[in-house]
Amino acid sequence: VPTFSYARAVDVEDAVRRGSRPGVAYIAGGTDILNLLRDEAVTASSLVDLRSAAPARIAVNGAGATISAFATMREVADHPALGEQWPMLRAALLSGASAQVRNMATIGGNLMQRTRCWYFRDPGSPCNKKRPGSGCPAREGEHRWHSVFGASEHCVAVHPSDLAVALAALDGRITVRNAVAERTLGIEEIYRTPGDEPERDTTLGPGDLIVDVFVPRTALAASSSYVKVRDRASFEFALVSCAAALSIADGQVSDVRIALGGVAALPWRARAAEDYLRGRRPTAESFTACGARGTDGAQALPGNRFKMDLIPAVIMRALERAK
Ligand X SMILES: Cc1cc2nc3c(=O)[nH]c(=O)nc-3n(C[C@H](O)[C@H](O)[C@H](O)COP(=O)(O)OP(=O)(O)OC[C@H]3O[C@@H](n4cnc5c(N)ncnc54)[C@H](O)[C@@H]3O)c2cc1C
Show contacts with ligand X in window 262-321 (CB under 6 A): none
In the bound complex, which residue of the shown chain has the CB atom lying closest to ligand X? 109
Determine if 33 is a binding residue for ligand X (CB under 6 A). yes
Q: How far is the CB of 234 from ligand X (least distance, A)?
A: 9
Alpha-carbon distance of 30 to 183, in angstroms, equals 25
Determine if 210 is a binding residue for ligand X (CB under 6 A). yes
Q: Which C-beta is closer to ligand X: that of 120 or that of 237? A: 237
Q: How far is the CB of 206 from ligand X (least distance, A)?
A: 10
Pairing of strands 268-269, 252-261: antiparallel
In the list 9, 24, 28, 258, the residue contacting ligand X (rule: CB under 6 A) is 28
Q: Which C-beta is closer to ligand X: that of 26 or that of 287? A: 26
Q: Is 297 left (phi over 0), alpha (psi -120 to 50) or beta?
A: left
In the list 16, 18, 26, 86, the residue contacting ligand X (rule: CB under 6 A) is 26
Contacts of 94 (CB under 8 A, 6+ apart): 77, 102
Determine if 25 is a binding residue for ligand X (CB under 6 A). yes
Q: How far is the CB of 107 from ligand X (least distance, A)?
A: 8
Question: Is the distance from CB of 62 to CB of 217 less than 8 angstroms?
Answer: yes
Residue closest to 1 by CA, chosen among 123, 116, 129, 115: 123
Determine if 235 is a binding residue for ligand X (CB under 6 A). yes
Q: Identify the H or E element spanning 291.
A: helix 284-292
Show contacts with ligand X in window 123-182 (CB under 6 A): 160-163
Exposed e or buried b for every residue in 226-264, given b needs 16+ CB within 10 A? bbbbbeeeeeebbbbbbbbbbbbeeeebebbbbbbbbbb
Q: How far is the CB of 82 from ligand X (least distance, A)?
A: 17
In the list 17, 74, 85, 101, the residue contacting ligand X (rule: CB under 6 A) is 101
Alpha-carbon distance of 48 to 314, in angstroms, equals 39
Provide the binding-site residues for ligand X, judged by CB under 6 A: 25-33, 50, 69, 96-97, 101, 104-106, 108-110, 112-113, 160-163, 209-210, 235, 237
